Amino acid sequence: MYAVVKTGGKQYRVSAGDKLLIEKLPAGAGSEVVLDQVLLIADGEQVKTGTPLVPGAAVKATVLGQRKGEKIKIFKLRRRKHYRKTQGHRQIYTEIRIDGIEVA
């Protein structure tokens, strides 16, 4: 059984026991999170698609912690104008473990 959920502007295919890195959620380590924007649920041959969401469906997950991603460097240059600018940042992600998929 798997589901497609939407969080942080992205879509993820999840099943029970999966670990994911998603956009930062305001939750501490060990807390439980419910992802209620479920777009699709598939169980063997049965597939339920939402328009756009599946009514009554939710995915429960446990927050494992927060961490930063890889460093992203931004370099801007205007040739012959003596303009150079270097910036960078590290995106903050939340690591979660999928506990189960509920369908009502």
**Given this model, what pLDDT does residue 80 score?**
97
Q: Take residue 13 and report the two structure tokens written for it.
A: 């295919």
For the chain, what is the HEC assignment? CEEEEEECCEEEEECCCCEEEEECCCCCCCCEEEECCEEEEEECCEEEECCCCCCCCEEEEEEEEEEEEEEEEEEEEECCCCEEEEEEEEEEEEEEEEEEEECC
- End-to-end Cα distance, the chain: 15
- Pick out the chain residues at pLDDT < 50: none
To the nearest whole percent, how much of the chain has pLDDT over 70? 100
**Given this model, what pLDDT does residue 96 score?**
97
**Given this model, what pLDDT does residue 104 score?**
80
**Given this model, what pLDDT does residue 57 score?**
95
Total structural domains within the chain:
1
Domain span at residue 79? 2-102
In which residue are the tokens 């473990």 written? 97
